[in-house]
Amino acid sequence: MKTNYLESVPKQFEYYKLLGDKTFAQIPEEKLFWQYNEESNSIATIVKHLWGNMLSRWTDFLTTDGEKGWRNRDAEFENDISTKQEMMDKWNEGWKVFLDTLKSLKDEDLEKIIYIRNQGHTVLEAINRQLAHYPYHIGQIVFIGKMCAVHWNSLSIPKGKSNNYNADKFAKPKERGHFTDEFLSK
């Protein structure tokens, strides 16, 4: 059975990337480096961790362990990015490596076994692992962003607007599409 999984899942990841991009655009640069306390991470630190994970997991994805010897995971949690541009460069580099690899996969790759720290995963399991991991951190970025923004523009249905949103949706005929289509086409 041919699946549309490999068409659908990149859209889901692109949607989460978009949430991060829209968050970065709404907050002052200095707030990208703010930490609630010593145990928490700044937005820039979370980006640095995602970048390290994406490079490690998705470089030579089908042929080498996803935890590369050159990765320094502990350093990813040092709050040492100093500019928004440096942070954005890491953000975009990580996403490019990840999405390019993801979009290169074929249906027949989904059952292949890859390794992360010597633990075997099917390619499908590895993608799903990241589909839980990356949105987890994007949610942290959005949460911190909402706290730091001077004025927050909702990234989903704004509070008190659910009835209007639903009325608009139900006024249209039923259709088949991906939930991200309306967000990614803008």
Q: Report pLDDT digits (tens) over 130-152.
A: 999 999 999 999 999 999 999 99
106 HSE (CA, 13 A, CB side)? 1
Which residues make Cβ contacts (< 8 Å) with residue 34, sequence separation at least 6? 42, 43, 144, 148
Which residues make Cβ contacts (< 8 Å) with residue 112, sequence separation at least 6? 62, 122, 123
Alpha helices by DSSP H, the chain: 5-26, 43-58, 84-104, 123-148, 162-170, 181-184
Q: Report pLDDT digits (tens) over 34-80.
A: 999 999 999 999 999 999 999 999 999 999 999 999 999 999 999 99
Both tokens of residue 160? 């008190």
Say which CATH architecture domain 5-155 belongs to.
Answer: Up-down Bundle (1.20)
Which residues make Cβ contacts (< 8 Å) with residue 66, sequence separation at least 6? 56, 57, 58, 114, 115, 116, 117, 126
Taking the model in full, what pTM does it have? Answer: 0.93
End-to-end Cα spacing for the chain: 32
- Looking at per-residue pLDDT, the higher value among 150 and 84 belongs to 84
Confidence band for 178, pLDDT divided at 50, 70 and 90: confident
